[in-house]
Amino acid sequence: MSQPLWGGRFTQPTDQFVQEFTASITFDQRLYRYDIQGSMAHCRMLARQGILTTAEADQILAGLTDILTDIEAGRFDFSVALEDIHMNIEARLIERIGPVGGKLHTARSRNDQVAVDIRLYLRDEIAAILAFLTSLQGALLDQAEANLDTLMPGYTHLQTAQPVLLAHHLLAYFEMLQRDRGRLQDCSRRLNQLPLGAGALAGTTFPIDREWVAQQLGFAGVTRNSLDSVSDRDFALEFCAASATLMMHLSRLAEELILWSSADFDFIELSDAFCTGSSIMPQKKNPDVPELVRGKTGRVYGNLISLLTLMKALPLAYNKDMQEDKEPLFDSIDTVKGSLKIFADMIAQMRIKVGNMRTAAARGFSTATDVADYCVRKGLPFRQAHEVVGKTVRYCVETGKDIPDLSLEEFRRFSPLIEADIYDFVTLEASVNARTATGGTARSAVAGEIVRARQQLEGAC
């Protein structure tokens, strides 16, 4: 069958180009499993309610099972003339089992059918994304644990600020990704309501059991307003917003990996498996993977804007515009999954250049704040201490020295409160380990954070 199932009203065939322009089968065919899953639950409910006979339901279920087998075996030819995944499957079902196949569509519309398909699909995809997220977070924790003693410069304004542990730096991304996890979980919880039964927009006259179908499909409940049920796409918007935030976090990490792998920083080396060379410069090793993830962030932002723009002026209930919801959603899903997977593998294989990081941490007067804190402990008001250390740094710049290299006599030129114990505060290790407050950089604090983060990750799994 290659003619639409709604043709009774029409006296002329649809223009060939219009068929192609309005069809969604080229992209919504990925919903086939969920369309069949939803149809099977609907069919069983119809039989349970006496709307179909048991024999009719058995025929329909057997036919749907065969169609699922054919699609997964590559034996199903999708037809543009049949517009979408719903009508392709229904037409094939009628071909297989005869007119009884047409009874499957009793008490439903493609409007509520597509709504349940997308929710089922997105629910599974969020679960898959969360698994990829776990892998990336695990890779970050592994690197943090392996580099619990690796010192690096902490930056503000991309200028050396204070020394930190690399483990502390990596844990910052773990925390970002943990919030991304929460957003995705919230999205999954909110979308987990069954819209089937809303019909085209105003429900159905048949005595269906929506709660039973919801239970069969693993939904937490049913949607409460039929108009909202078929016109709602805010769950897809919420997912795209969460995806945009997640990609923003990956893009920030990507930017740092790109900087760190450059000759100017030389903090890390990315595995050859995640880099490419130059067609003209034989020495080049380009960090293509983080660059691509940084670039792909923009398309995920664009998908969110596309969906927001799509929905911004639609009257209730369903409008054909809403067919355009799928491609941005599908693209965001594919992009996020691919980015998480490749980042997890890349981070796991990343080599840290410990010596280079430490050398960089020692530059830029990174322990200056510790000298100011020292002076405060000796009784100097912080603003005066800030000025004392500012003059000390200026002296270091003029003489080509670093703070730990100054003699006690040189220190005391700027404040007589400074004593010999100043040297217990100005080493990189002393600076890092002095910050023990919650969220601090001390080795003991960071080690504790790694343990807590692993427990969080295990709980999420």
Is 278 one of the annotated active-site residues of the chain? yes
Of 2, 262, 271, 278, the catalytic one is: 278
Indicate the SS3 state at residue 426: coil
Hey, what amino acid is at 217?
L
The two beta strands, 351-352 and 268-269, are: antiparallel
What residues have CB less than 8 Å from 383, skipping those under 6 apart?
A: none
Q: Give the tokens for residue 1.
A: 């069958």
Is 157 one of the annotated active-site residues of the chain? yes
Of 105, 157, 261, 366, the catalytic one is: 157
Whether the Cβ atoms of residue 113 and residue 195 lie closer than 8 Å to each other: no
3-state helix, strand, coil in the chain (%, to 5): 65, 5, 30
Indicate the SS3 state at residue 222: strand
Q: DSSP secondary structure string, 344-390?
A: HHHHHHPEE-HHHHHHHHHSS-TTHHHHHHHHHHTT--HHHHHHHHH
Among 168, 159, 220, CA closest to 192: 220
Indicate the SS3 state at residue 160: strand
What residues have CB less than 8 Å from 314, skipping those under 6 apart?
A: 231, 321, 322
Among 18, 17, 102, CA closest to 59: 102
> How many Å apart are CA 77 and CA 74, to the nearest integer?
8
What residues have CB less than 8 Å from 351, skipping those under 6 apart?
A: 268, 269, 270, 271
What residues have CB less than 8 Å from 91, skipping those under 6 apart?
A: 1, 5, 79, 82
Hey, what amino acid is at 381?
P
Among 302, 429, 283, 332, CA closest to 126: 332
Report, as residue numbers or ranges, the catalytic residues.
157, 278
